[in-house]
Amino acid sequence: MDIDTLCLCALSFEPATGYDLKRRFEKVYSYFYVAGFGSIYPSLARLAKDGLVDFVATHGPGPRPRKEYRITPQGTAELRKRLATANPVHRVHSDFLLLMLMADQIDPVRVDALIDERMAQIRAQLDALNASRAEKPVARPGVEFVRDMGETMLQAAAVYLKTHRKALVSALEAERDRQTPSS
Amino acid sequence: MDIDTLCLCALSFEPATGYDLKRRFEKVYSYFYVAGFGSIYPSLARLAKDGLVDFVATHGPGPRPRKEYRITPQGTAELRKRLATANPVHRVHSDFLLLMLMADQIDPVRVDALIDERMAQIRAQLDALNASRAEKPVARPGVEFVRDMGETMLQAAAVYLKTHRKALVSALEAERDRQTPSS
DNA sequence: TGGCCCATGTAATCTGTTACATGATTGT
DNA sequence: ACAATCATGTAACAGATTACATGGGCCA
């Protein structure tokens, strides 16, 4: 599933500018997808060229017109077709876990700080999720399913980190002391 | 954190061929990292060129020599340096969740099958994790921490899917019946 | 008046994936 | 005899990230 399909999915909920999409991705979608401007704008241009979306241009701020994109009937049909054949790849790419795996090669103080940072990210994502829940309700069952699953997973991660961080850092400090006894 | 660093991490545990690394990544690392041959072999060649790893070549099967790679002292030093500065990016990239988000645009039967498939993947990863636990214990605390966190997260996902799938599929079927009543 | 938010877009670069090519050994 | 596993590598391609370029409106 490429960015084009992702944009099509997002536009199937409601019209948006490229800028809007970026921020929407940061809210509801941030748990399982990321995309920057450098991907979104070329994607919207491709989709418009293929007639899967169209747009109304107004003269917003800045030198170029503000373009509000909408999905077209062809776009909806094409989206359905893609959703019917896509395969459900799911992958986690975590430098955080790789760092934790290598924790004994890192300063214990930094390991502790890394866990703090990760927990802050998790909290931020949970806040974004709850914020999107407070917005006008969407009558499509997938939204709630995905949102709740995201919340479940994020909370599980938070609980794990909270209850296991001490044991990890203690073990690292004990090992360090064994190698360079301070007394 | 690029593939080079990932290979360096893996080789810090024990020497391996490129082929070994691929399979090791599929075991313990599969929850948070993936890498194919097309990435691993060029990576090992680069690392060897920079003196961060070396290898002993034997004439294994196939036309080319079998190369067992080891991390060098320079490699260990470089790895520590990279671990000391890397930032803990963590991202999930899930077509599965995107498909679930769009569930109302997909045949309910397929939605059900997609969840089955995802649960099978989760079970396979849990099995791989448990298999790696049964192997000779590693005296580095990060390994247990990461393995247990992976297990926790995978189990949370499995439980969520098991308990919420019915509600999603029922809602989809109800909606479909509302639009095209069969009686 | 300085910085942030809105808003769009391009170009260079980086990185990884896929497909291909090769071929011996081991198990059924 | 056939398939699977072991084992290494290259080349073409696809995809995304980063940096750059532009500039009005709003708030402190």
* B4-24 tens-digit pLDDT: 999 999 999 999 999 999 999
Percentage, residues of chain A above pLDDT 70 = 99
Among residues A147, A118, A123, the alpha carbon closest in space to that of A135 is found at A147
- Among B78, B90, B164, B176, which would you mutate to test the A interface (most chain A Cβ atoms within 10 Å of its Cβ)? B90
Interchain contact, B92 vs A32, CB within 8 Å:
yes
- Which residues does A6 contact at the CB level (< 8 Å), separation at least 6? A25, A29, A33, A35, A43, B98
Contact of B160 with chain A, judged by CB distance below 8 Å, is answered with yes
B24 touches strand D (CB under 7 A): no
CB contact under 8 A, A142 and B100: yes
Describe the crossing of helices A108-134 and A141-179 by its angle, rounded to 10 degrees. Answer: 170
Comparing every residue's Cα with the C1' atom of nucleotide D6, the nearest one is B61
With CB atoms and an 8 Å threshold, state whether B89 touches A106: no
Token pair listed for B87: 């930032």
Which DSSP string do the residues of A29-86 spell out, in sequence order?
A: TTTT----HHHHHHHHHHHHHTTSEEEEEE--SSSSPEEEEEE-HHHHHHHHHHHHH-
Residues in chain B closer than 8 A to A172 (CB atoms): 141
Q: What is the pLDDT at residue B175?
A: 82
Q: What is the pTM of this model?
A: 0.93
Average pLDDT over residues A34-63: 92
B126 has a chain A CB within 8 A of its CB: no
Q: According to the model, what pLDDT value does residue A136 have? A: 78
Task: Count CB atoms within 10 A of the CB of residue B108.
Answer: 18
| CA-based torsion, B46, B51, B54, B57: positive or negative | positive
Question: In the structure, what pLDDT confidence band is assigned to residue B183 with cuts at 50, 70 and 90?
Answer: low
Find the CB nearest A32 among B6, B90, B93.
B93
A154 touches chain B (CB under 8 A): no
Residue A182 confidence (pLDDT): 62
B54 touches strand D (CB under 7 A): no
Residue B16, CB-side half-sphere exposure with 13 Å CA sphere:
19
Count residue pairs from A and B with Cβ separation < 8 A. 202
Q: Is A92 on the interface with B (CB under 8 A)?
A: yes
Residue B44 clears pLDDT 90, i.e. is over it: yes
Nearest chain A residue to B80 by CA distance is A105
Query: E strands, B5-129, where?
Result: 53-58, 66-71, 90-94
Per-chain mean pLDDT for chain A: 92
Per-residue pLDDT at B27 exceeds 90: no
Q: What average pLDDT does the segment A26-45 reach?
A: 92
- Per DSSP, A113 falls in state H
pLDDT tens digits, one per residue of B60-91: 777 788 999 999 999 999 999 999 999 899 99
Structural contact between residues B61 and B67, judged by C-beta atoms closer than 8 angstroms: no
Please judge whether B101 and A171 are an interchain contact, meaning their C-beta atoms are less than 8 angstroms apart.
no
Tell me the shortest Cα–Cα distance from A67 to chain B, in angstroms: 24
pLDDT of A45 reads 95
Give the C-alpha separation, B85 to B87, whole Å: 6
